[in-house]
Amino acid sequence: MKKQIAFIFDLDGVIVDTAKYHFLAWRNLANQLGFKFTEEHNELLKGVSRVKSLEILLSIGKVELSEEEKQKYLVQKNTEYLSFVNKMTTDEILPGVTDLLDYLDANKITYALGSASKNAPLILEKIGLYNRFTALVDGNDVSKAKPDPEVFLIGAKKLQMKPENCVVVEDAIAGVEAAKVANMYCVGIGDKEVLNKADIVFKDMTGFTKDFLENLIN
């Protein structure tokens, strides 16, 4: 018998590779504040909220700022980030994503977005996927950031599914932790060693083969 399951997708690093745009904007801010910001540093910001990302960046540069300055730089960084987002098109959907969504639609499996990004609705519009999701939960809807499970629990509720019947797809350590705390099955996208708390890890979204999906629902 087929199991009733639903999917909840992270956005950045799962559906699109926006980390490169976050990196350019954060690096410019770091340079402006007088220190270097590397791609390794950028890894620390994956899955982390915008405000927390600034805190991490400032601790890397050992820079202290007033609340007012922090607000100013958050706006500046996001404005620059949005200049890249506004140029995004359907071409930026990562390999494997469209095939997976087509499979889920064909099998009447619903799916939601569960992202930390406040820019998630705009990004989905830009890449033409906004209307495909049954529910959207993003950085504007949560009071607690991943690894808190709030974002995924709201997603499950909106899909009217029990957490244990939800499959989360995540590329960040904090997101994998959130999914496991929520009692959901978690597919990690990235490095097996890094995402070692996930139930299974694929190096990218093409890992969702027909065999894997059939096993999951049967």
Residues that bind ligand BG6 (CB under 6 A): 11-13, 22, 45-50, 53, 78, 115-119, 139, 172
Minimum Å gap between C-beta 147 and Mg ion is 13
In 21-85 the beta strands, taken as DSSP E runs, fall at none
Point out the catalytic residue in the list 12, 102, 148, 211: 12
If one asks whether residue 45 binds Mg ion (CB under 5 A), the answer comes out as no
Residue 130 and residue 116: Cα distance in Å, rounded? Answer: 16
Minimum Å gap between C-beta 55 and Mg ion is 18
If one asks whether residue 177 binds Mg ion (CB under 5 A), the answer comes out as no
| Residue 50 binds which entry of ligand BG6, Mg ion, none, CB below 5-8 Å type-dependent | ligand BG6
Q: Is residue 12 flagged as an active site residue?
A: yes
Q: Which residues partner with 188 through β-bridges?
A: 170, 201
User: Between vectors from CA 160 to CA 204 and to CA 2, what angle results, nearest 5°?
Assistant: 65
Minimum Å gap between C-beta 152 and ligand BG6 is 13
Q: Which residues partner with 200 through β-bridges?
A: 187
β 111-114/135-137 pair status: parallel
Residue 210 and residue 49: Cα distance in Å, rounded? Answer: 33
Q: Is residue 10 flagged as an active site residue?
A: yes
Among 8, 9, 13, 110, binds Mg ion (CB under 5 A): 13
- Backbone dihedral region for residue 208 (phi beyond 0: left; psi -120 to 50: alpha; all else: beta): beta
- Tell how far CA 2 is from the center of its chain: 28
Q: Output 11 or 167, the one with its CB closest to ligand BG6.
A: 11
Q: Output 52 or 157, the one with its CB closest to ligand BG6.
A: 52
List active site positions: 10, 12
Contacts to Mg ion by CB under 5 A:
10, 12-13, 47, 171-172
